[in-house]
């Protein structure tokens, strides 16, 4: 690679590199790294370090990956392998690391402070969090604040409204504290609910959240995902129709629908910069905003009367940043970012700050009725409210699989080149995809069709029903056929996981799921005539009594029967379904459907719902059986002794 290091030296450098890779994305922010070196007085010439960084940072984004890092170190250390960086590593790691149960973990104190301040602001008047707030912002108090799961449940609902029914959350009664069992239930709920809205929770369990001060990197990563979703949630054409002002020539509303919130935020930022008739544009929330020029122009453009451009008269970047934070406050934005974070170019905090400005004052002219009609925005909103609920469930399922570089927002669009589906197939059936047959650089229609044809071939190997579907249907986004294929992927994954819990790994199907559910309800003996269902379309599922009895049969502490009352009112049933889904998540069930799917007895979604409950039930059965066997063995040994 041109660095001249031995394999042993490369391994050592990689260990050092990971210390500064705070979010584990394989890159480090060289501004922070060079500042750390400077503060520690290690390198005689910081110019040499910066020149070396500039030489390998080809796109100028202020970040370098590990291979680029090796080239930097080869120049700085003269290729000796006796790196001064190793000395810096030993000193610098104490600046932002703690020792945990599983080793030493890195985290960003700036982000810990910022997110603590944001949560204090967001939930300042929430009585349910009075025992936690305010969170101290000068340490890792946030890691302790998530211990009982209540703060996470609140944040999940702030990120995605009504995900959790708070009636099912365990809360401390006056003068008492929650038991460890109740806390564990809340954490199971938080993890399952976060997963259901597309948050990455791979390798996160209740134990890590309960002992969060030992895992600050995990807490920070989870909280950031939720804060990011909460801040960016309104940057959507559904909630802010004025975003059509950002459309360029030859674009339509579908263009905006395909863009993720970060892309929309950047386009909005640049729209106002263009309107201010300045040449500057931003392509990132790091180097492009750290001098505060773009922020100053943006705030002045959206609020001439409150935000001046006087800060640009100063060359002091800290003073400029202080003026930006003051101006943002003037337009109503909660600025949890520090001026120093702007100057450092902290990408997470700057993106959150820009989103806060958008949410407070987007500065886009309100649409007239004629414009609403022209852009058919009512149709956009109707489509969102009705859902393609299946699309939503499938997207959330895919996002929860923990596949690297996979996060889908537009299912049909993202499936169009075949790569997303190949990655999902590879995840749920490892080894089936021969990546030599895949077109990884999909830069034309022919390669998209080739990948999608391969996807269909693999579907046939998995035993899917694929009559009338070809690769071209996936490329063209045929909604019915694509959703049909993805549904079979989700069903395969669900059934495969559930079958693994069976004795001997026996295959399972819908009939067995129904039979198990009926048997479980019948065996609970809570009533003389327990309800039974005949199919996934059985109306008794939508009436919800059967669902409540099933959850009660798995754990008799999870249902509050004062809440579960029969009703013919649709809205009340949806509310009850949300409560029961929350109760299921307390048990650890991973659910991607919506309450309406259960009330309306949508068979596909009901299948995933019952399968998730059965997965929890079978897991608990196996755990209890192990405990009983252990107790029997101990008793037998005691008798023998």
What value does the mean pLDDT take over residues 526-549?
Answer: 92
Higher pLDDT, 79 or 589: 589
Q: How confident is the model at residue 19 (pLDDT cuts 50, 70, 90)?
A: low
pLDDT at residue 72 tops 70: no
b/e per residue, 307-341, with b = 16+ CB within 10 A? bbbebeeeeebeebbbbbbebbebbebbbbbbbeb
Q: Which two tokens stand for residue 516?
A: 């198990």
CB atoms within 10 A of CB 88: 21
Q: Which residues contact 230 (CB under 8 A, 6 or more apart)?
A: 122, 155, 158, 159
- Where residue 21 falls among pLDDT bands split at 50, 70, 90? low
Residue 509: predicted pLDDT: 87
pLDDT band for position 505 (50/70/90)?
Answer: low
pLDDT at residue number 62:
64
Query: Which pLDDT value is given to residue 88?
Result: 46
- Per-residue confidence at 624, pLDDT binned at 50, 70, 90? low
Q: What is the pLDDT of residue 293?
A: 96
Residue 385 pLDDT more than 50? no
Distances in Å between the alpha carbon of 312 and those of 282, 293, 296, 586? 17, 7, 8, 53
Task: Check if 109-232 and 241-381 are the same fold.
Answer: yes
C-alpha to C-alpha distances, 188 to 148, 170, 548, nearest whole angstrom: 11, 12, 19
**pLDDT (mean) for 533-546:** 94
Give the model's pLDDT for residue 271.
Answer: 96
Fold of 7-95: Recoverin; domain 1 (1.10.238)
CATH of segment(s) 109-232: 1.10.418.10
32-50: average pLDDT: 53
Check residue 95 and give its pLDDT. Answer: 42
Span of 194-203, 433-442, 561-570 with lowest mean pLDDT? 194-203
Residue 298 is classified by DSSP as H
Query: 30-40 and 7-20 helices cross at what angle (nearest 10)?
Result: 100
Where is average pLDDT lowest: 74-83, 215-224, 396-405? 74-83
Say if residue 379 is exposed, middle or buried (CB neighbours under 10 Å; 0-12, 13-18, 19+): exposed
Answer yes or no: pTM beyond 0.75. yes
Taking CA atoms, 603 is separated from 197, 212, 388, 606, in Å, by: 21, 39, 15, 5
CATH class of 511-625: mainly alpha
Distance CA 144, CA 98 (A): 14
pLDDT at 65: 75
- Minimal CA–CA distance to 414: which of 262, 268, 267, 257? 257
Domain 241-381 has CATH 3.30.420.40: no
Report how far residue 147's alpha carbon sits from residue 165's, in angstroms, rounded to the nearest whole number. Answer: 19
Q: Any idea what DSSP says for residue 501?
A: T
Q: What is the mean pLDDT of residues 583-601?
A: 92
Tell me the pLDDT of the chain averaged across its residues.
Answer: 84
CATH H-level, domain 387-499: superfamily: Calponin-like domain (1.10.418.10)
**CA distance to 232, 254, 289, 300, 413, per residue, from 265 (Å):** 8, 16, 13, 17, 20
pLDDT of residue 82 exceeding 90: no
| 2 confidence band (pLDDT: 50, 70, 90) | low
CA distance 350 to 355: 8
27 or 33, greater pLDDT:
27
Per-residue model confidence as pLDDT tens digits over 256-300: 877 889 999 999 999 999 999 999 999 999 999 999 999 999 999
Residue 359's pLDDT band (boundaries 50, 70, 90)? very high
Q: What tens digit of pLDDT does each residue of 543-562 get? A: 999 999 999 999 989 999 99
What is the rounded average pLDDT of the residues 484-513?
86
Q: How confident is the model at residue 175 (pLDDT cuts 50, 70, 90)?
A: confident
Between 207 and 630, name the one with better pLDDT.
Answer: 207
Write down the domain spans for the chain: 7-95, 109-232, 241-381, 387-499, 511-625
Instruction: Tell whether the model's pLDDT for residue 636 goes beyond 90.
Output: no
| Band of pLDDT at residue 101, cut at 50, 70 and 90 | very low
Half-sphere exposure of 288 (CA within 13 A, CB side): 20
């Amino acid at each position: 690679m041109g660095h001249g290091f031995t394999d042993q030296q490369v391994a050592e450098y990689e260990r050092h590199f990971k210390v500064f890779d705070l979010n584990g994305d394989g890159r480090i922010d060289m501004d922070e790294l060079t500042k750390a070196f400077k503060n520690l007085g290690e390198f005689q010439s910081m110019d040499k370090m910066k020149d070396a960084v500039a030489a390998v940072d080809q796109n100028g984004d202020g970040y370098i990956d590990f291979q680029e890092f090796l080239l930097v170190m080869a120049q700085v250390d003269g290729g000796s392998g006796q790196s001064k960086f190793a000395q810096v590593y030993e000193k610098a790691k104490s600046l932002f690391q703690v020792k945990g149960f599983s080793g030493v973990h890195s985290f960003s104190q700036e982000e810990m402070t910022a997110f603590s301040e944001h949560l204090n602001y967001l939930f300042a008047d929430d009585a349910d969090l009075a025992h936690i707030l305010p969170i101290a912002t000068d340490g890792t108090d946030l890691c302790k604040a998530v211990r009982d799961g209540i703060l996470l449940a609140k944040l999940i609902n702030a990120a995605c409204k009504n995900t959790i029914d708070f009636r099912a959350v365990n809360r401390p009664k006056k003068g008492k504290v929650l038991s460890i069992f109740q806390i564990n239930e809340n954490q199971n709920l938080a993890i399952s609910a976060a997963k259901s809205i597309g948050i990455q929770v791979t390798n996160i369990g209740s134990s890590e959240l309960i002992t969060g001060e030992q895992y600050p990197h995990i807490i920070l990563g989870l909280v950031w995902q939720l804060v990011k979703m909460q801040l960016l949630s309104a940057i959507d054409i559904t909630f802010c129709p004025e975003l059509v002002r950002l459309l360029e020539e030859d674009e339509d509303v579908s263009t905006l629908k395909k863009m993720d919130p970060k892309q929309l935020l950047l386009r909005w930022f640049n729209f106002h910069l263009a309107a201010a008739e300045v040449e500057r544009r931003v392509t990132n929330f790091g180097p492009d905003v750290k001098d505060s020029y773009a922020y100053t122009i943006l705030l002045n453009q959206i609020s001439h009367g409150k935000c001046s451009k006087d800060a640009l008269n100063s060359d002091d970047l800290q003073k400029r940043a202080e003026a930006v934070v003051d101006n943002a406050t003037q337009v109503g934005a909660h600025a949890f970012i520090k001026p120093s974070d702007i100057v450092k170019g902290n990408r997470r905090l700057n993106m959150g700050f820009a989103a806060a400005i958008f949410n407070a004052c987007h500065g886009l002219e309100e649409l007239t009725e004629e414009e609403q009609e022209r852009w058919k925005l009512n149709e956009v909103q109707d489509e969102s409210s009705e859902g393609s609920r299946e699309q939503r469930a499938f997207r959330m399922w895919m996002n929860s699989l923990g596949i690297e570089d996979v996060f889908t927002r537009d299912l049909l669009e993202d499936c169009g080149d075949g790569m997303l589906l190949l990655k999902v197939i590879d995840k749920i059936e490892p080894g089936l995809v021969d990546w030599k047959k895949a077109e990884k650089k999909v830069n034309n229609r022919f390669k998209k069709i080739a990948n999608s044809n391969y996807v269909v071939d693999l579907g046939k190997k998995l035993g899917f029903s694929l009559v009338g579907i070809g690769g071209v249907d996936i490329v063209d986004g045929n909604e019915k056929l694509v959703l049909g294929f993805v549904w079979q992927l989700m069903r395969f994954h669900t059934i495969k996981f559930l079958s693994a819990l069976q004795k001997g790994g026996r295959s399972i199907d819908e009939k067995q799921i129904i039979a198990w559910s009926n048997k479980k309800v019948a065996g609970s003996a809570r009533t003389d005539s327990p309800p039974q269902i005949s199919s996934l379309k059985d109306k008794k599922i939508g009436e919800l009594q059967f669902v409540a009895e099933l959850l009660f049969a798995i754990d008799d502490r999870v249902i509050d029967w004062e809440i579960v009352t029969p009703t013919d009112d649709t809205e009340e049933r949806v509310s009850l379904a949300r409560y029961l889904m929350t109760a299921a998540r307390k048990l650890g069930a991973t659910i991607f459907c919506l309450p309406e799917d259960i009330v309306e007895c949508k068979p596909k979604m009901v299948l995933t719902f019952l399968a998730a409950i059965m997965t929890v039930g079978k897991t608990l059965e196996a755990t209890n059986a192990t405990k009983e066997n252990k107790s029997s063995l101990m008793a037998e040994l005691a008798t023998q002794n």
